[in-house]
């Protein structure tokens, strides 16, 4: 099996896969070293970028996936096959809070938004963008929420570090908050998470 063939097989696998394929998975299937696979994947990504096709090989949700080029979105919409999920403002706000503050309890979400948010969280869970990560080891053991792999895939993010940076207080207004209450930012009291995946 020469390199060219391996690359072709990887392409075929990515083409047929339903979800982004991780390099581990590819190396397991092909019986080849991960380092080699990663290098080949990188080559494939570069090639797809320069090839000028209507699709790209992208690194999303810690894996690799072929996706249409964003600039051709309008044409694909004309197919009429896809129904985009329309977010309400409440849903986006809640999703943003969960994404940036995870693991986060519903009470924390509601404190930040100032409104009851149970229904929105439920909607996001139904859309599989948000999941229950476990329970927080505090009184009442409230559920803690976080984003899913589908969330990364949905927004085309490689991992959570790819989230757009959240504007800081300091950017909103310099120095003015000096001496104000420190924000209970880190949820250091979070219990070890029973991952549900």
Q: Which stretches of the chain bind other proteins, using CB under 8 A?
A: 15, 18-19, 55, 65-68, 70, 73, 76, 81-93, 95-97, 99-100, 111-116, 119-120, 123, 127-128, 150, 153-156, 164, 166-167, 169, 172-173, 176-177, 179-181, 183
Least separation, in Å, of the C-beta of 103 and other proteins? 16
Instruction: Please tell me whether residue 28 adopts helix, strand or coil conformation.
Output: helix
* Strand ranges (E), the chain: 55-60, 63-68, 104-105, 130-135, 143-147
Compute the least distance from the CB of residue 96 to other proteins, in Å.
Answer: 4
Contact 127, 98 (CB under 8 A): no
Q: Which is nearer to other proteins, 38 or 87 (CB)?
A: 87
Minimum distance from CB of 1 to other proteins (Å)? Answer: 25
Nearer to other proteins by C-beta: 9 or 191?
9
State phi, psi for 27 to the nearest 5 degrees: -70, -30
- How distant, in Å, are the alpha carbons of 81, 127, 180 from that of 148? 25, 10, 34
- 23 vs 123, which CB is nearer to other proteins? 123
Tokens for 86?
A: 């329309």
Cβ atoms of residues 41 and 58 within 8 Å: no
Instruction: Kindly tell me which of 29 and 115 has the beta carbon lying closer to other proteins.
Output: 115
- The DSSP annotation for 180-197 comes to SPPP----TTPPPP----
Q: How many helices (H) and strands (E) does the chain have?
A: 9, 5
Smallest distance, other proteins to C-beta of residue 126, A: 8
Specify the residue, 1 or 176, whose C-beta has the smaller distance to other proteins: 176
Minimum gap (Å) between residue 159 Cβ and other proteins: 14
Nearer to other proteins, 8 or 115 (CB): 115
Residue 98 CB, nearest distance to other proteins (Å)? 10
Q: How far apart are CA 88 and CA 96, in angstroms?
A: 12
């Amino acid at each position: 099996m020469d390199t060219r063939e391996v690359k072709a097989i990887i392409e075929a696998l990515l083409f047929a896969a339903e979800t982004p394929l991780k390099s581990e998975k590819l190396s397991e299937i092909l019986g080849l070293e991960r380092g080699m696979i990663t290098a080949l994947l990188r080559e494939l990504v570069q090639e797809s970028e320069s090839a000028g096709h209507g699709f790209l090989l992208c690194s999303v949700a810690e894996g690799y996936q072929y996706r249409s080029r964003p600039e051709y979105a309008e044409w694909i919409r004309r197919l009429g096959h896809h129904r985009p999920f329309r977010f309400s403002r409440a849903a986006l706000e809640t999703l943003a809070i969960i994404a940036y503050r995870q693991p986060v309890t519903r009470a924390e979400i509601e404190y930040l938004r100032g409104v009851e948010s149970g229904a929105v969280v439920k909607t996001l869970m139904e859309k599989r963008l948000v999941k229950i990560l476990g329970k927080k080891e505090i009184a009442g053991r409230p559920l803690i929420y976080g984003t899913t792999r589908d969330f990364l895939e949905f927004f085309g993010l490689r991992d959570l570090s790819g989230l757009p940076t959240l504007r800081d207080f300091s950017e909103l207004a310099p120095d003015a908050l000096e001496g104000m209450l420190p924000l209970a930012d880190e949820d250091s009291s979070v219990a070890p998470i029973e991952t549900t995946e």
